[in-house]
Amino acid sequence: MNNLENSQAPYNFGVCASADCTKRFTCLRYIALQNASPQYPFLPTLSPRKLESMKGECEYYRPNTPVRYARGFTRVAGTFRLRLISYFGRKNYYLARKGEYLIDPAAQQYIVSQAEALGLRLDDYFDEYVERYDWWG
């Protein structure tokens, strides 16, 4: 995932044009701007005044380190369905169970803890894993 393709950044993801930032080469906001698709000529961008006011401590920094998301949990879905529906909401529960909604590390930890609390121990609780950038934090 070293190369950020034009289509990877969400359209409404805020970008940064600060050429002075020491973290710019590891920040998704700067990298996304450098790789922006010409299809979108206007992008939401951090304003120069906001950049000046932060004085080098950027609250909008998004590291370009991929995160390991899980996809699907059909192995454990029926065991504690109501607990997971209350956690994800009904729609997202079914999307996540089928693998259409990626499960972030915090939600993975919750699912595993709920399974283990009910005595369910598996080598792996999820159908597969994918690496993606964490655009929204």
Residues 6+ apart with CB under 8 A from 14: 29, 43, 44, 45, 46, 60
* Radius of gyration for the chain, computed over Cα atoms and rounded to the nearest angstrom: 19
Instruction: Identify the pLDDT of residue 1.
Output: 42
- Please say whether the beta carbons of 122 and 76 come within 8 A: yes
Please give the chain's pLDDT, 137 residues, in tens. Answer: 445 654 578 888 999 999 989 999 999 999 999 988 888 889 999 998 998 898 778 999 999 999 999 999 988 867 788 999 999 999 999 999 999 999 999 999 999 999 999 888 888 999 999 999 999 87
Instruction: Identify the pLDDT of residue 101.
Output: 95
